[in-house]
């Protein structure tokens, strides 16, 4: 099931959407970074930006935004960079996981995960 609904997305269109930019700081976003709008869409804003601002009135993960917009995660990250740069969104990055040192989260965090799952 490698083929997805986005296969039909024209690469040229994705290129247009992102203004042809691919910035280094997209890497600040994880797939599960939670995005929150800090302002309402304004006149003349790019339609994808408008959609993101509307979606993220409550926190929403990058991967969910990607799914709802029907655009690959990497493209969404570029769109989010613009909004972050202009202060229109804030980003809540994952902090329990510690991918940088390849280690597990703190035992206290995992205990909380365990208890929460047990109580579902």
Gap between the Cα atoms of 52 and 108, Å rounded: 34
Closest by Cα among 108, 109, 87 to 97: 109
Our finding on whether 13 is near other proteins (CB under 8 A) is no
Contact call for residue 15 and other proteins (CB under 8 A): yes
Query: What burial letters (b/e) apply to 72-106, b meaning 16+ CB within 10 Å?
Result: eeebbbbbbbbbbeeebbebeeeeeeeeeeeeeee
Least gap, CB of 63 to other proteins (angstroms): 6
Choice from 28, 41, 46, 72 touching other proteins (CB under 8 A): 72
- Site pattern 87..106 for other proteins (x: CB under 8 A): -----x-xxxxxx--xxxxx
The whole-angstrom separation of Cα 104 and Cα 48 is: 36
Task: Please say which residue, 16 or 86, places its beta carbon nearer to other proteins.
Answer: 16
Binding site for other proteins (CB under 8 A): 1-7, 15, 20-22, 30-34, 51, 54-55, 57-61, 63-64, 66-68, 70, 72-75, 92, 94-99, 102-107, 110-114, 116-118, 120
């Amino acid at each position: 099931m490698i083929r997805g609904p986005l296969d039909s997305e024209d690469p040229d269109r994705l290129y247009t959407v992102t203004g042809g930019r691919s910035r280094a700081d997209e890497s600040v976003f994880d797939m599960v970074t939670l995005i929150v709008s800090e302002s309402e869409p304004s006149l003349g804003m790019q339609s994808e930006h408008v959609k993101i601002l509307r979606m993220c009135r409550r926190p929403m993960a990058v991967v969910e935004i990607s799914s709802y917009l029907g655009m690959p995660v990497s493209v969404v990250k570029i769109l989010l960079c613009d909004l972050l740069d202009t202060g229109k969104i804030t980003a809540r990055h994952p902090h329990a996981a510690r991918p940088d040192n390849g280690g597990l989260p703190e035992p206290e965090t995992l205990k909380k995960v365990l208890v929460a799952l047990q109580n579902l």
